Amino acid sequence: MGLFDKIFGKKVEEQIEENASADIFKFDLSEVEAVAETETDIESDLEHEDIAESEPVFEVPASTSETTDNTVTIETVPEPEVAVTADEVADVSPEPELETETPQQIEAKYEKSLKKTSKSFGARFNEFLANFRSVDEEFFEDLEDTLIMSDVGVDVATQLTDDLRREVKLQNAKSKDDVKRVIIEKMVDNFGESGLNTQLNLQDGLTVMMFVGVNGVGKTTTIGKLANRFKNEGKKVLLAAADTFRAGARDQLVEWARRSGVDVVVGKENSDPASVVFDAVKRAQNEQFDILLIDTAGRLQNKDNLMKELEKMGKIIKRELPDAPHETLLALDATTGQNAISQAKEFSNVTPLTGIVLTKLDGSAKGGIILTIQQILQIPVKLVGLGEGLQDLENFDEALFVKGLFQDLI
Residue numbers belonging to the annotated binding site for GTP: 213-220, 295-299, 359-362
Name the binding residues. Answer: 213-220, 295-299, 359-362
Sheet holding 207-212, edge to edge: 65-66, 71-74, 263-267, 237-241, 291-295, 207-212, 327-333, 355-359, 381-385, 393-395
Burial class (CB in 10 A: 0-12, 13-18, 19+), 56: exposed
Separation of alpha carbons 374 and 371, rounded Å: 6
CA 158 and chain centroid, separation = 24
What would the DSSP string read from start to end of 194-224?
Answer: -----S----SS-EEEEEE--TTSSHHHHHH
- Give the three-state DSSP class for 299: coil
Type of residue numbered 93: S
146 within 8 A of 38, measured Cβ to Cβ: no
Separation of alpha carbons 396 and 80, rounded Å: 33
Separation of alpha carbons 324 and 237, rounded Å: 16
Tally of CB atoms within 10 A around 202: 13
DSSP annotation of 28 reads: B
71 within 8 A of 271, measured Cβ to Cβ: yes
Alpha carbon distances (Å) from 367 to 38, 117, 198, 374: 17, 6, 17, 12
353 within 8 A of 376, measured Cβ to Cβ: no
Burial class (CB in 10 A: 0-12, 13-18, 19+), 225: buried
For 72, residues 6+ apart whose C-beta sits below 8 A from its C-beta are 60, 64, 65, 66, 265, 266, 267, 268
Backbone phi, then psi, for 266, in 5-degree steps?
-125, 160
CA 311 and chain centroid, separation = 22
